[in-house]
A and B are shown apart, each in its own frame.
Chain A
Amino acid sequence: MNDNPVFARIQAAIDENPVLLFMKGSPMFPQCGFSAAVVQVLAETNVKFKGVDVLTDMEIREGVKAFSNWPTIPQLYVKGEFIGGCDIVREMHENGELKKLLEEKGAEFAK
């Protein structure tokens, strides 16, 4: 990992939050259909997660694309691992892989 200061900020956010979604808007008020779709999927799995609104932080918005060599937002990270964007998260949810992965990685679920 090079010494890009934004990468350090991104890495810290990923390390501090077991399930982290870089998105446009917030979980309560998503500002983009793809971000809303991932929030919906995560809500259906009942997993606890944190949203980072990239619209309020241009550096993170561009930095996170280089960080994972992934050109779009949203981006989901679980226990530090990049899981994917909207297409992949939705596909994993539809075939049950997402919930299994969250459980295997020890994510916390709302009661």
Chain B
Amino acid sequence: MAMEASEIERLIIKAIPDAKVSIEDLRGDGDHYAAQVVSSQFEGKTRIQQHQMVYQALQGKMGGELHALALQTSAEET
């Protein structure tokens, strides 16, 4: 099972429209990605809440179809 980077990005932007998403395929196997997500919607939210928003956007694929996503979130561009 694997996911395309473009699919991950599409799902995140569909749920978090103003998100700026950059995704790196860590091993080229479609199963291990790193992603940075920047969105004003993260403003005032804890890291856990921010990550949960991204996991929700991925509609249950996190931990299943998508084995590993090293995630970094922030409210504004760093």
A-side residues, CB < 8 A to B, are 34, 65, 69-72, 82-88, 91
| Complexed CA–CA distance, A34 and B69 (Å) | 11
List, sorted by A's number, 10 A–B pairs whose CB atoms are closer than 8 Å: A34-B68, A65-B63, A70-B48, A70-B55, A71-B55, A71-B64, A72-B62, A72-B63, A82-B48, A87-B51
A-B contact count (CB 8 A): 29
B-side residues, CB < 8 A to A, are 47-48, 51-52, 55, 60, 62-64, 68, 70-72
CB distance from A66 to the nearest CB of B (A): 12
Chain A residue at smallest Cβ distance from B34: A87
| Complexed CA–CA distance, A77 and B72 (Å) | 20
> Beyond A82-B48, A91-B72: 16 further Cβ-contacts under 8 Å?
A34-B68, A65-B63, A69-B52, A70-B48, A71-B60, A71-B63, A71-B64, A72-B62, A83-B48, A84-B47, A84-B48, A84-B51, A87-B51, A87-B70, A87-B71, A87-B72
| Complexed CA–CA distance, A86 and B34 (Å) | 12
List the B side residues contacting A84 at CB < 8 Å: 47-48, 51
Please give me the 5 A-B residue pairs with the lowest Cβ-Cβ distance, nearest first.
Answer: A71-B63, A71-B62, A72-B63, A88-B47, A87-B71
List the A side residues contacting B62 at CB < 8 Å: 71-72
| Complexed CA–CA distance, A69 and B64 (Å) | 14
List the B side residues contacting A85 at CB < 8 Å: 51
Chain A residue at smallest Cβ distance from B71: A87
CB distance from B22 to the nearest CB of A (A): 15
